[in-house]
Structure 1
Amino acid sequence: MKPRIHPASRPVVFRDRAADVAFLTRSTADSTRTIEWEDGTSYPLIDVEISSASHPFHTGNSRVLDTAGRVERFERRYGRAATVRP
C-alpha cells in the first residue's frame, strides 16, 4: 500500500434507529456527534436507518406494504392524468 493516500480508520459507533441497536466498529466515516460507549470512551456517532439488526433479510421478518389504493390516492391528490392523443 502506498503511504499517506488512505483515509484514517478509527473506531465509530453506528446506531440503527429502527432497531435501537448500536455497533462499535472501525470506519473512515466521521461525525461531529459523539456518544459515550460502554467502556466509558467517547466515540463519533453515526445514525443509520437500517442495519443487519432491522433488515428483513437478516431478521426473517417481512414487511407488508400497502399497495392497494396507491393509484387512487395519487389520483385524488394530483388528479387524473389527461390522455394524450396522437
Structure 2
Amino acid sequence: MKEKIHPKYNTATNVSCACGNTFTVGSTKDSIKVELCAQCHPFYTGEKRMVDTAGRVEKFRQRYGNKT
C-alpha cells in the first residue's frame, strides 16, 4: 500500500450549526458549517415546522392551495 496518500485526520473538528449550536467531531476538515443539527431539526425536537429553502413552500402553497 502507498504511504502518505491519506488526508490528515483531525480528532477535534468544530461543527457549527445555523441555530448557534456547536459540537466537536472527528473529520479531515478543520471546521464544518451545517444548516440543521439535532438541536434544531424537527425530527429530534418534535416540533412541526417547515424548513423553507428559497420560498419553495410558499410557491407550493400558491400553486396547490393551503389544505392543512
Q: Does the pair score TM above 0.5? A: yes
2:47 is aligned, of 47, 61, 67, to 61
Shift of 1:64: 4.5
The runs of 5 or more residues in structure 2 that have no matched partner are: 52-56
How many percent of aligned residue pairs carry the same amino acid? 32
The runs of 5 or more residues in structure 1 that have no matched partner are: 31-44, 73-86
Task: Note the aligned Cα RMSD (angstroms).
Answer: 2.8
Structure (1/2) with the larger helix percentage: 2
TM-score in terms of structure 1 length = 0.49
- CA offset digits 1:42-76 (Å, max 9, x no partner): xxx4321111121111221121475674228xxxx
Structure number with larger C-alpha Rg: 1
Which amino acid is 2:27 matched to? Answer: S
Shift of 1:2: 6.0
Aligned to 1:29: 29
Shift of 1:3: 3.8
Which amino acid is 1:52 matched to? Answer: A
Q: Is the 8 Å Cα contact of residues 14 and 23 (structure 1) preserved in structure 2? A: yes
Query: How many residues of Structure 1 are paired with residues of Structure 2 in the alignment?
Result: 57
Which amino acid is 1:28 matched to? Answer: T
